[in-house]
Structure formats: C-alpha cells, structure tokens
Amino acid sequence: MTVRMLHLLGSPVLRQQATPVRAVDDDVRRLVDDLFETMRAAKGVGLAANQIGVAKRVAVVDVGEEDPPPLVLINPLIVERSPDHETAEEGCLSIPDTFGDVERPSRVVVDALDRDGKPFRAEAVGYKARAIQHEIDHLDGILFLDHLSAVKRALLLSKWKKSRKGEKGYLKEVTPEPAGEL
C-alpha cells in the first residue's frame, strides 16, 4: 500500500468523467488499498480515484466508528435518493481549507462492486450518505463547489486562488488534515 499524492483543484483529472472498471483484478485491488491508505493518512472520510490521478470509477468511504463498515465503491450507482434533503458543511481533500454548505438527499441506496468484484447494495443516511454522494460526484468530475450558489462559489474560488499564489502544479503530498474532510 502506498500513500499517493493528492490532486488539487486545477488538476484536469478532477474534472474527468471516470471510466467504469471492466474487471476487479489485482491492479484495482491495489488502487482500492492505496485509496484507503491515502485517505487515512490525510484523515479524510472518503476518497475517489480521480483524487490520486486515476480516472477509474473507484472510491472509498470510511466515516469511522459512528457508521461502520468502511465501503469500497467500484462502479457505484445510486439507485434511490430520499425526497427529503439535508444541508451540511463539506470540505474536500482536493480543495484544502475550503468549506461550504451543500444540500443533498439525506438517504441513498447505492449498488456497487466490492474489493472482490462482488455486487452489493448498501443503504446509508446522514453523514455516510453525504460522503457516498460526494465521492460518486468526484467520479463524474463534479466537486462540492458545483453545488454552491454562484456567489458563494466565486468567493471560495478567489480565496483558494489567493492561497495558492506562488504554488506550482496541482499535486500535494499528504500531510495531516483536519478530520472530516471528504
């Protein structure tokens, strides 16, 4: 297992539509393990393959003790969304120190393949449902910023650009982040 470099906002792979995994082989399992390793090193609660530069439909979610087990999501598809929505603050390991309130369905049902390539269905509510939706968004090239109002997004983007002044490229070594970023 390897802690991989994180791709930050501005890296084109974050805007790429990830391609479905054709077979869950050793390469895919290694990708899953690297995602977990990188997510944990960064103290995140979820990570999508785009975020480590791989445009494949693979993501992991682990919101910890309060809602186990951790999920491996290969070729995930949300098959049900609750009509009721919830608004809560989100961040993203690819956009450090940037947070915004995002409204999402409070409950989802997701179909996916696990680390062994076995299909499963999982239901999640609350924070875990939010994390699943955030990660699946990544696989479609969508960032939480896209869910904000134009005004809020512009504000966060200008702060982000200021904070990145003088930085070269869009890769970041993983260093401990505040807990709770997706």
| Nearest residue (CB) to Ni ion, 61 versus 116 | 61
Q: Is residue 182 close enough to count as binding Ni ion by CB under 5 A? A: yes
Q: Is residue 132 close enough to count as binding Ni ion by CB under 5 A? A: no
**Looking at the DSSP assignment, which residues form a beta bridge with residue 116?**
none
Token representation of residue 118? 């076995």
Q: Is residue 139 close enough to count as binding Ni ion by CB under 5 A? A: no
CA atoms of 65 and 128, how far apart (whole Å): 11
Q: Is residue 71 close enough to count as binding Ni ion by CB under 5 A? A: no
Q: Are 106 and 125 in contact (CB under 8 A)?
A: yes
| Nearest residue (CB) to Ni ion, 42 versus 182 | 182
Q: Among this protein's residues, is 80 annotated catalytic?
A: no
Q: Is residue 61 close enough to count as binding Ni ion by CB under 5 A? A: no
CA atoms of 123 and 146, how far apart (whole Å): 25
Question: Segment contacting Ni ion (CB under 5 A): 16-24, 31-39, 89-97, 163-171?
Answer: 89-97
CA atoms of 161 and 175, how far apart (whole Å): 20
CB of 138 to Ni ion, least distance (A): 6
Which residue in 166, 88, 175, 174 sits closest to 134, CA to CA? Answer: 88
Sign, CA dihedral 174-175-179-181, equals negative
Task: Provide the residue count of the chain.
Answer: 182
Q: Which of residues 91-130 bind Ni ion (CB under 5 A)?
A: 92
| Nearest residue (CB) to Ni ion, 93 versus 122 | 93
CB of 23 to Ni ion, least distance (A): 26
Long-range contacts, 84-87 (Cβ 8 Å, 24+): 86/126, 86/130
CB of 108 to Ni ion, least distance (A): 16
CB of 24 to Ni ion, least distance (A): 23
Which residues would be at the binding site for Ni ion (CB under 5 A)?
92, 182
**Which residues have a catalytic role annotated?**
135
